[in-house]
C-alpha cells in the first residue's frame, strides 16, 4: 500500500546548528563543573595559608597531641610526670599572638629562627584520653622536626579529605540529591567552616565527617548495587572521621545518620537489612564517644570557665532564662558573628549579614518543600541546637559567651542546612536567576571580606587599616605568593566555585523536576 502520510522531513541546516550548539553548551557546562574540585582546593588552600601556626582554637593542645600521638617517636619525649611531655617549643610558644589582635604573627620569628628541638615541657595535650585518638594518630604520621612544613601538610590533607568526600558524594548521589549537597555545604561553612576545614583543628574532621555521613546515608538509602556498597563504605569513613576527632562529633554523626534515616528509610520488610550499615556505623560512633572524656563534659559541663554567676547570667532559672534569650548568638557565630581563631579575629559586620541572609533566604525557600518527616527532623534539630548548649552551659554555671563556642555546634548547623534544602519526592527547590545571583554575591562577598580580615589580623595586626595586605607585612610564610595575591586568588576562586556549583544545583533541579 502507498504511504499517504506526511513525507519524512530532512533536518535543516538550522536544526543541525541548534543541536550542535546544545552539545557544545552541555560540554562546556560539564567541563566547568569538573573544575569545581580544583577551585575548592585552591579556595580552601588559600585559607590554610591565611593563618600562621597555632592560629586555630587550642592549637597548642592539638599540635602537642599530634606530635605525641606515638609515644616512641623522637618528636615527643617524656616529661617530668605522666601528664607532661617535652615537645618542640614552636608547638607551645607559637600562640604568642593569641587573644592579642593588635599583635601580628611576627612574634613567632625569633622562636623559629632558634630551631631549638625539643626544649619545652607541656601539660597541654591528649595525655589522659580527653579526645578520641584517631585524628591525632593519623596526623601524627606527618609530624616532624620542621614544624611549619608538617603543619601545612596536615592542613592540605584536611582540605583534600573535605574536597575528596564532597566530590565522591557528588558523583555517587542521585541527581536529585546533588542540590542538597551543594546548598548544604555552601550555606553553613562561610566563614567558620572554611577556616576550620583548612586548619589543624580536629573540628576539620568533625565538620567533614558529620556532613558526609548525612549525605552518604541519604544516597545509600536511595541507591542499589555497587553504588550502595560504595556509599556504605563512605558512611563508615565519615563516621570514623567524625567520631575519631571529637567526642561531641561522635554524637552528632549519630544524629546525622538518624536524620537521614528518618527522611528516607522505607518502612518495608527490607528495613532491617537496609539499616545494617547505618546502624553499625552508629555503634562505632558511640564506641568512640565512650573512649573520650568529652562524654563526661557533656554531663557535668565544661570545667575551667567562669564560676556560677560570674559570667553575667546569674544562677539557676535566671541563668537558664538569660541563656535561652542569647542562645542564637552561637548559631549566628557559625556565620561570622563571633571571631575566628582564638576568637580574636573579629569579622566585619558585612560577613555575618551576608552569610546569614543567604542561609535564611535559601532555608526559608527549603521550608516550602515540606513533608511530615522533614518537619519532624527540622524540629528535632532546632531542639538539639538549643537544648545541647543550654544544658552544658547550665551544668557548668556559664552564660552564653563562656566556654561553649559556635564551632562546637557547627556540625549540627551543617545537618540543619542539609535538611532545610532537602527535597521530598516530587518537589524541587528552585530559585530564580536573580535569587541565585544574590546568593552567589552574598557568599562570595562574605568569604572575600572574611579572608581579608583574617590575613590582615596576622600579617600586621588589626591596627593597620591599609587596603594592600602586602604593604608593611610583619609576618608571612616563606612562599612566593604575597599576602595580597593570596587574598585575590582565594576570593576569585571561591566566587568562581560558588557560581559553578550553584548553576549545577539549578541544572540538577531542572533535570528531575
Buried residues in 247-260 as b, exposed as e (16+ CB within 10 A): bbbbbbbbbbbbbb
Which of 25-34, 64-73, 298-307, 456-465 shows the lowest per-residue confidence on average (mean pLDDT)? 298-307
Q: What pLDDT, on the 0 to 100 scale, is given for residue 16?
A: 47
The C-alpha cell that represents 483 in the structure block: 599576602
The pLDDT, as a whole number, for residue 145 is 85
Sequence-ordered list of residues with C-beta below 8 angstroms from that of 102, at least 6 positions apart, any chain: 461, 462, 463
Split at pLDDT 50, 70, 90, the class of 507 is: confident
Q: pLDDT band at residue 46, thresholds of 50, 70 and 90?
A: very high
Q: What is the pLDDT of residue 294?
A: 64
Spatial separation of the C-alpha atoms in residues 112 and 130, rounded to whole Å = 29
* Beta-strand runs (E) in 384-498: none
Assign 11 a pLDDT band (cuts: 50, 70, 90): very low
Q: How far is CA 312 from CA 291, 344, 400, in A?
A: 34, 20, 9
The three cell numbers locating residue 215: 549525605
Q: What is the pTM of this model?
A: 0.91
Residue 235 makes CB contacts below 8 A (sequence gap 6+) with 213, 216, 217, 220, 257, 277, 278, 281
Does the pLDDT value for residue 108 go beyond 60?
Answer: yes
Q: pLDDT tens digits for 229-279? A: 999 999 999 999 999 999 999 999 999 999 999 999 887 777 788 899 999
pLDDT surpassing 70 at residue 510: no
Cα–Cα dist 97/389, whole Å? 29
Instruction: Say if residues 63 and 69 touch (Cβ distance below 8 Å).
Output: no
Residue 266 confidence (pLDDT): 82
pLDDT at residue 344 above 90?
yes
Better pLDDT: 272 or 299: 272
| Residues 204 and 241: beta-carbon distance below 8 Å | no
Per-residue model confidence (pLDDT) at position 273 = 82
- Name the pairing type of β-strands 77-78 and 120-122: unpaired
- Where exactly are the structural domains of the chain? 32-512
CA distances from 501 to 234, 331, 361, 378, 504 (A): 22, 25, 18, 25, 5
Amino acid at each position: 500500500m502507498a504511504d499517504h502520510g506526511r513525507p519524512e522531513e530532512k533536518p535543516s541546516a538550522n536544526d543541525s546548528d541548534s543541536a550542535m550548539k546544545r552539545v557544545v553548551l552541555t560540554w562546556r557546562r560539564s567541563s566547568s563543573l569538573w573544575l569545581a574540585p580544583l577551585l575548592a582546593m585552591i579556595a580552601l588552600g588559600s585559607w590554610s595559608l591565611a593563618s600562621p601556626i597555632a592560629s586555630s582554637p587550642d592549637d597548642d593542645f592539638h599540635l602537642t597531641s599530634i606530635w605525641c600521638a606515638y609515644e616512641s617517636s623522637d618528636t615527643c619525649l617524656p616529661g617530668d610526670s605522666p601528664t607532661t611531655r617535652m615537645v618542640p617549643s614552636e608547638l607551645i610558644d607559637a600562640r604568642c599572638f593569641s587573644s592579642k589582635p593588635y599583635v601580628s604573627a611576627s612574634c613567632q620569628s625569633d622562636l623559629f629562627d632558634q630551631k631549638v628541638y625539643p626544649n619545652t615541657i607541656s601539660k597541654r595535650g591528649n595525655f589522659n584520653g580527653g579526645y578520641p585518638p584517631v585524628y591525632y594518630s593519623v596526623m601524627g604520621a606527618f609530624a616532624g622536626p620542621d614544624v611549619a612544613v608538617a603543619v601545612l601538610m596536615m592542613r592540605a590533607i584536611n582540605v583534600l579529605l573535605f574536597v575528596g568526600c564532597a566530590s565522591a558524594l557528588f558523583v555517587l548521589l542521585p541527581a536529585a540529591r546533588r542540590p542538597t549537597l551543594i546548598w548544604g555545604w555552601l550555606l553553613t561553612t562561610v566563614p567558620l567552616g572554611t577556616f576550620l576545614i583548612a586548619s589543624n583543628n580536629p573540628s576539620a574532621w568533625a565538620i567533614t565527617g558529620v556532613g558526609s555521613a548525612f549525605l552518604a546515608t541519604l544516597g545509600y538509602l536511595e541507591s542499589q548495587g555497587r553504588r550502595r556498597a560504595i556509599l556504605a563504605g563512605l558512611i563508615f569513613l565519615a563516621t570514623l572521621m567524625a567520631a575519631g576527632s571529637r567526642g561531641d562529633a561522635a554524637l552528632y554523626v549519630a544524629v546525622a545518620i538518624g536524620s537521614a534515616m528518618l527522611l528516607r528509610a522505607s518502612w518495608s520488610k527490607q528495613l532491617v537489612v537496609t539499616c545494617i550499615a547505618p546502624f553499625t556505623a552508629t555503634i562505632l560512633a558511640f564506641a568512640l564517644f565512650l573512649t573520650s572524656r568529652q562524654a563526661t563534659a557533656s554531663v557535668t559541663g565544661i570545667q575551667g570557665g567562669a564560676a556560677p554567676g560570674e559570667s553575667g547570667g546569674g544562677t539557676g532559672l535566671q541563668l537558664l532564662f538569660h541563656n535561652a534569650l542569647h542562645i542564637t548568638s552561637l548559631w549566628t557565630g557559625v556565620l561570622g558573628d563571633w571571631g575566628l581563631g582564638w576568637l580574636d579575629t573579629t569579622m566585619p559586620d558585612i560577613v555575618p549579614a551576608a552569610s546569614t541572609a543567604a542561609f535564611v533566604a535559601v532555608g526559608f525557600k527549603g521550608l516550602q518543600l515540606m513533608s511530615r518527616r522533614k518537619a519532624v527532623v527540622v524540629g528535632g534539630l532546632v531542639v538539639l541546637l538549643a537544648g545541647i548548649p543550654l544544658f552544658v552551659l547550665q551544668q557548668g554555671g556559664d552564660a552564653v559567651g563562656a566556654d561553649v563556642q559556635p564551632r562546637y555546634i557547627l556540625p549540627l548547623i551543617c545537618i540543619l542546612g542539609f535538611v532545610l534544602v532537602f527535597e521530598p519526592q516530587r518537589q524541587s527547590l528552585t530559585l530564580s536567576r536573580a535569587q541565585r545571583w544574590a546568593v552567589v554575591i552574598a557568599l562570595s562577598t562574605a568569604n572575600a571580606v572574611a579572608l581579608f580580615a583574617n590575613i590582615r589580623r596576622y600579617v600586621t595586626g588589626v591596627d593597620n587599616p591599609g587596603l594592600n595586605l602586602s604593604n608593611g607585612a610583619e609576618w608571612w610564610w616563606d612562599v612566593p605568593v604575597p599576602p595580597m595575591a593570596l587574598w585575590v586568588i582565594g576570593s576569585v576562586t571561591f566566587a568562581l566555585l560558588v557560581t559553578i556549583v550553584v548553576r549545577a544545583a539549578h541544572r540538577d533541579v531542572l533535570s528531575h523536576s
